[in-house]
Amino acid sequence: MKSDCIFCKIANKEIKSEIVYEDKDMLAFKDIDPKAPVHFLFIPKKHITTLNDILPEDGALLGNMFLKMKETALKHGISSDGYRIVANCNKNGGQAVLHLHFHLLGGRSLAWPPG
Ligand code: 5GP
Ligand code: ZN
């Protein structure tokens, strides 16, 4: 728990969010400013600042997060049409919140690369 981190506060239920999945290690909630009909954020409950900060011992956690993202995509009906999982890193990656998170986006066509 990093006391000035907004996603730690969400994980700690100090800030309300619309939770779509939770277990002891991770939380998934609706993005407050959705970019697609389905836009969820998956975060580890422990504070990891960026992708640069993941450690070998985080491998199982990250693997479980991907399994849960896949299951959540299926549950919300976006598996067969497809979806995108995004993790932004630092300034050039466009990371606004410095607590590692994965965007799960679907429910519309997601053109790439951006114009
Ligand atoms: P980033 O740009 O860091 O990859 O993405 C941060 C995401 O967090 C953005 O899509 C933004 O809309 C979302 N976000 C920021 N603050 C909050 C919040 O307080 N609650 C929720 N649910 N989402 C947030
Ligand atoms: Zn945090």
3-state secondary structure the chain: CCCCCHHHHHHCCCCCCCEEEECCCEEEEECCCCCCCEEEEEEECCCCCCHHHCCHHHHHHHHHHHHHHHHHHHHCCCCCCCEEEECCCHHHHCCCCCCCCEEEEECCCCCCCCC
Mutation test of ligand 1: which of 5, 33, 100 has the most ligand atoms closer than 8 Å to its C-beta? 33
Q: What is the pTM of this model?
A: 0.96
* pLDDT score of 114 more than 90: no
Atom of ligand 1 nearest to the CA of 96: 3
- Tell me the per-residue pLDDT of 81-113, one tens digit each, with 9 for 90 and over: 999 999 999 999 999 999 999 999 999 999 777
101 is catalytic: yes
